[in-house]
Every structure is written in structure tokens, then in C-alpha cells.
Amino acid sequence: MPEEIKLMKGNEAIAYAAIRYGADGYFGYPITPQSEIMETLMDEMPWETTGMVVLQAESEVAAINMVYGGAACGKAVMTSSSSPGISLKLEGISYMAGAELPGLIVNVMRGGPGLGTIQPSQADYFQTVKGGGHGDYRLITLAPASVQEMADHVALAFDLSFKYRNPAMILSDGVIGQMMEKVKLPEQRARRTEDQVRQEQTWATLGKPDNRKPNIITSLELDSSVMEKNNQRFQAKYKLIEENEVIYEEINCEDAEYLIVAFGSAARISQKVVDLARAEGIKVGLFRPVTLWPFPSKRLNTYKDKVKGILTMELNAGQMIEDVKLAVECNVPVEHYGRLGGIVPSPTEVFEAFKSTFIK
């Protein structure tokens, strides 16, 4: 059977990939630029094929709490939104981290702050990786840079969130969500039966048989000595994730004298900048974090004595630049270039900025 290659939007790829993964439920709310995710799911009617529940909630707050309820039952559930909607979901995300619940949240970023714009942006980096909700928690964060990765990251994010019982986020943006590219969708997996869920998620609240104590999903603990232990358990988990789940891509970095560090759509633009630079004999490499948390600090650190300068290209006022500086321990000059308000800079514009910054 020939490989099944399709042309579709990044948002659509998320929807199809979720169905193919065997997701149990999606709970969403309309917001540009990601509404196609729910539209596609409603159009596909997976409740008639895989049995997947798809529900439009009354708000993003309700939607994330539906994810919380489904996750408490051990199910593979997800929601999606865009920046302002994600702000509304942060309490729920913190609750999921505190109750150690798996689940996928997709953020197709748009320009902020406030109602902002519907144009693309990457200005939710801090909100996502520095904990936008309350408390010491971390959010496994994947940054797709293509429609193919939008599809692939659904399974990856779900698997990581179940492996570590922690919410995971796909941090995309309006470019990746709206652009169309070829994509090979994953094979269809069967949804898990209740017995499978009971075996794999023994903590799930699926109704208490006589042979066990009640399962209670809560993040509440008034005894601070116990709450500290809970937090220490979370911190140990985050350490494990940082040691084992970092993903990044290096393009033309072996002989690089300069690096551009960029993720998502900014990385696609930066790839062209690398070509433009190389054409002028400037050895620039692209370092692309795929996991924004855990951030690839260790790997980036290896460049601190090898390159003369690092430019972070981000569609924001400069956020990931802080993590890059920390990674290279400020041994290398690290500068930022990015446009705000939803403007997406061209490769030549970025290349000019690179040159004026590093090649005086």
C-alpha cells in the first residue's frame, strides 16, 4: 500500500494524529489561530469510529478541567487553544501537575499580551517553561517546526505525559498551525480498553472494586511535611525528565563559528539564514531545541568555547535568550533578534541583523 502522504495544515495534523493515536477525548474552545483542530475533529466524528469523545466546552477553563477529569480516569485526553486561552487553562495545568495527571495541551501561539493579535508569536515561552501557573511545577514542552512534527509530537507528548504522569504541551504558533505541508500520518492505534487502563493506570478513578482502597485524585495536602514530600517527588521526576528526554536538532553546527538558536517557525526561517551566511562564507549553524522543557542546556554548553557568538531568533522580545545564556554560562556573547506584534521577519532581514550584530 503506497505511503499515505497528505497535504494539510499543522492544526489539522494535530487532529488526525490524535485520532490515530487512539486518544480517548478532546475538549476544546474556539480561538484563532487554532480552531481547525476542533473543526477537523468534529468533521471526522471519531466517536463513531474509535469512540473518541470530542466536546466543545463553554470556556477554556471548563475545557482544561474536562481534561483533568478525563485524565483522572486514566484516559488519554487533550485540549488545544491559543495564548489567551492558555492563560485561562494555567490553573488547571498546575492542578494536573499537582495531582500528577497525564494529558496533552496544544498552544498555537498568537501575538500578545492581552487580546493581542491573531498573527503568530512565540511570546508564551516564559509562560510555558517557567511555569505560568502557580507552584513549583514543570510542563513537558515540545516545539514542532513542521506539519510533520505537529503530527509526530502528539504521540510523543502523550507518551511522555503518561510515562511521567505529568501534563505535556505542544508549543506551536500561528505559522506552523496554519501553513500546509506534506505529512505522513501515524498508523491507527486502537483505544485502550477499561481493563487496560485499570492495569496501566492503577491510580485511575474508574470506580472502586472491593479488592482495593479508593483511588483519590487530588492536589490538596494541608500537612506541609507531606506536601514537601510530594513536591520532592515532583522535583525528582523533573530531574529524571531533564536527564532523559531532551531533544534537539543541530544543522551545520560541526564547523560553526556562530550559532543561531531558534525553535518552531523561527527555526525554519533561521535555516535559510544559515544558507545565506554560508553563501557569504560565514560559518553559521542552527541549533534547534525540540524540547523547550527540558531545555537542551548540556548540549548547548559544549559550544561555549567553540563559537564566537550566538543569536537567538524568537518571535518575541527575547525570552529563550535567558536559557541560552545560562546554558553557555555567558562565556559567549548571546544576542536576540525578533519581531513583535505578530510580524514574521524574512530570512534576509534576520541575516542583516546577524551581520550588524556579530560581523561589524
Partner 1 sequence: MDTKEIIKPENLVYQKPRLMNDNPMHYCPGCSHGVVHKIVAEVIDEMGLSEKTIGVAPVGCAVFAYNYLDIDWIEAAHGRAPAVATAAKRLNPDKMVFTYQGDGDLAAIGTAETIHACNRGENIVIVFINNAIYGMTGGQMAPTTLLDMKTATCPYGRNVALNGYPLKISDLLVQLEGTCLITRETVHTAAAIRKAKKMLRKAFENAMNKKGTSVIEFVSTCSSGWKMTPDQSNKWMVENMLPMYPLGVLKDKS
Residue ranges binding partner 1 (CB under 8 A):
24-25, 27, 53, 55, 57-59, 61-63, 65-70, 72-73, 75, 77, 91-92, 95, 99, 194, 205-210, 213-220
| Pick 64 or 241: Cβ nearer partner 1 | 64
Single-letter amino acid, residue 279:
A
* Euclidean distance between CA atoms 195 and 174, whole angstroms: 39
Q: Across the strands, what pairs with 184?
A: 5
DSSP state of 139: -
| Pick 162 or 303: Cβ nearer partner 1 | 162
| Pick 23 or 142: Cβ nearer partner 1 | 23
* Euclidean distance between CA atoms 49 and 16, whole angstroms: 13
CB atoms within 10 A of CB 233: 10
Sequence-distant (6+) residues with CB within 8 A of 152 are: 17, 144, 186
Sign of CA dihedral 279, 280, 282, 284: negative
Q: Least separation, in Å, of the C-beta of 24 and partner 1? A: 6
Q: Least separation, in Å, of the C-beta of 64 and partner 1? A: 8
Q: Least separation, in Å, of the C-beta of 137 and partner 1? A: 14
| Pick 113 or 207: Cβ nearer partner 1 | 207
288-315: b (≥16 Cβ within 10 Å) or e: bbbbbbbbbbeebeebeeebebbbbbbb
| Pick 47 or 248: Cβ nearer partner 1 | 47
Sequence-distant (6+) residues with CB within 8 A of 82 are: 31, 32, 33, 34, 107, 108, 109, 110, 174
Q: Least separation, in Å, of the C-beta of 104 and partner 1? A: 14
Q: Least separation, in Å, of the C-beta of 219 and partner 1? A: 7
Cα→Cα distances 314→3, 122, 177, 311, 342, Å: 35, 6, 17, 9, 11
Which residue has cell 472491593?
210
Q: Least separation, in Å, of the C-beta of 201 and partner 1? A: 12
Q: Least separation, in Å, of the C-beta of 204 and partner 1? A: 8
Q: Least separation, in Å, of the C-beta of 210 and partner 1? A: 7
DSSP-based three-state secondary structure for 150: helix
* Euclidean distance between CA atoms 328 and 303, whole angstroms: 7
The three-state (H, E, C) secondary structure of 43-89, written as one string: HHCHHHCCCCEEEECCCHHHHHHHHHHHHHCCCCEEEEECHHHHHHH
| Pick 3 or 58: Cβ nearer partner 1 | 58
Q: Least separation, in Å, of the C-beta of 91 and partner 1? A: 6
Cα→Cα distances 164→31, 38, 159, 201, Å: 29, 27, 9, 12
| Pick 25 or 111: Cβ nearer partner 1 | 25
